[in-house]
Amino acid sequence: MKRILKWSAIMLACLVVVITALFVGTRGDYPLARLVTDDASLPSQMVAGIQLHMRVVEGPETAPTIIVLHGGPGGDFRSLQALEALSDQYNVVFYDQRGAGLSERVSADRLTLDGYLEELQGVIDLVSPDGPVNLIGHSWRAMLATAHMGRKPDSVRAAVLIEPGYLDAVGYQAWRAESQKYLSGIAYWREAVLIGFRAQHISGPDHAAADDFLIGHMVGVFTNHSENPYHCGDGYTAPSWRFGAQSSDAWDTAPAADLDRISAGAASYAGPVLLLAGSCNDWIGEALQVDHAAQFSNATLAVLPNAGHDVVWDNPDATLLVLRSFLRMNQ
C-alpha cells in the first residue's frame, strides 16, 4: 500500500509540474479583434435587433445588388473581399453572420436555421428593398442560400453556391463521418493541448474571446490537417478576423429536420444557379457538387483550377471571370 501511495504521489507531482510548465510556458499576447459592439469604427448595421459587421461597396447608379455570404458557421467575409471587384457593375454587400466574425455575439437560441434565415431576409430588405438580389454563398452559407431560395424564390435573381458541404441530413452525416479523419492524430491533439492552455491567458476584449480563440484555432488545425483535401497542398491560408465559437457549436446540434429543410424547396427555385468547386478538393469538390446541382431545376457547374475549398481566396482571377460571365447572362 505504501508503495502504491508513494508512486501515486510521484505521478501527481509530475502531473502538477507538467501542467504548471504548460501554463507558464504558453503565456503570451494573443490579441483578438474587437466586435462591432465594442469598436464604433467598424462598419455595421442593425438587422433583426442584432448589430452586424457589414460593408457595402456601392456600384453604378441603379446597379443590381450582390450579397456575399461567408462560410462557417463561425467564419467571416475577410477571405471573400476579392469579390469587391464586382462593384464596377454591382452593389456588393458583405456581412458577418450573427455570432460570427466581428458581428455581435448572441445566445445559442438565436443561432438557429430560422434565425439565420430571418437575418438574411432582413439584409435583403435593407440593401435591396425594391427588387431581387444575387446571392454568392460559400460553404455553410451556400447551404443557407439554398434554404432561403426555397422559401423566398422571388427575392433571388440568381445564385452562386461555392462548395456547399451538404444539403440535407444524410449529407451531413456523410460530411461528419469524413471530417472525423481530420480531427485526430498526435499532431492534432498536441495542438489542442497547447491551444487550450493559451486560451487560458485570454481575458478580453469580451466574454466570448477565449472560446473564439480556442475553437477558431482548432478549426485551423482541422483545415490544415496533412490529409485534409480542402486545399491544394500548401495549407489552408485563407485569412479571417475572428471565429465565432458558439455559432459553430450551436449548428453541431441542429435537428435533422432543420438539415432536411436546407434543400426542401431547391427544386422549386426556377432561377439560374451556378455551383462552383475547386479542382484540388476531392472531398466536397466536383463530384459532390454534381449531385447538388441535380437538386435544382436550372443549375450548372464550373470547376476552378488551382483552388481548394476557399475558391475565391485561392484563385480570385479565375473566380471573377466565371462569376462575371454567369451574372452577365442572368440579370
Residues 6+ apart with CB under 8 A from 201: 26, 27, 28, 30
Domain assignment present for 192: no
pLDDT of residue 109 exceeding 70, the answer is: yes
The Cα–Cα gap between 211 and 223 comes to 18
Whole-model pTM over 0.95: no
The Cα–Cα gap between 110 and 112 comes to 6
**How much is the average pLDDT of 127-150?**
97
Query: Which 3-state string (H, E, C) describes 34-85?
Result: CCCCCCCCCCEEEECCEEEEEEEECCCCCCCEEEEECCCCCCCCHHHHHHHH
Per-residue pLDDT, 65: 98
Domain assignment present for 151: yes
Q: What percent of the chain lies above the pLDDT cut of 90? A: 72
Per-residue pLDDT, 22: 47
Return the closest-CA partner of residue 164 out of 270, 55, 259, 52.
Answer: 259
Specify which residues 68 forms β-bridges with.
Answer: 94, 136
20-68 confidence digits (pLDDT tens): 554 455 565 768 899 999 999 999 999 999 999 999 999 999 999 999 9
271-296 confidence digits (pLDDT tens): 999 999 999 998 999 999 999 999 99
Domain assignment present for 314: yes
Q: Quick check: helix, strand or coil at residue 300?
A: strand
Per-residue pLDDT, 23: 46
Mean pLDDT (the chain) is 90
Domain assignment present for 231: no
Domain assignment present for 32: no
**How much is the average pLDDT of 249-278?**
95
pLDDT of residue 313 exceeding 80, the answer is: yes
Per-residue pLDDT, 203: 78
**How much is the average pLDDT of 144-161?**
97
157-204 confidence digits (pLDDT tens): 999 999 999 999 999 999 999 998 888 888 777 887 777 767 677 777
Per-residue pLDDT, 236: 77
pLDDT band at 7 (very low <50, low <70, confident <90, very high): low
Q: What percent of the chain lies above the pLDDT cut of 70? A: 91
Domain count, the chain: 1
The Cα–Cα gap between 239 and 277 comes to 19
Check if the beta carbon of residue 281 is closer than 8 Å to that of residue 163. yes
Domain assignment present for 201: no
pLDDT of residue 5 exceeding 60, the answer is: no
Domain assignment present for 233: no
pLDDT of residue 76 exceeding 50, the answer is: yes
pLDDT of residue 1 exceeding 70, the answer is: no
Per-residue pLDDT, 16: 47
Between 156 and 197, the more confident residue is 156
Per-residue pLDDT, 3: 54
Domain assignment present for 119: yes
Q: Which domain holds residue 280?
A: 49-173+250-329
Any idea what the CATH number is for the domain that residue 168 is in?
3.40.50.1820
Span of 2-6, 113-117, 122-126, 266-270 with lowest mean pLDDT: 2-6
The Cα–Cα gap between 118 and 23 comes to 43
Check if the beta carbon of residue 70 is closer than 8 Å to that of residue 98. no
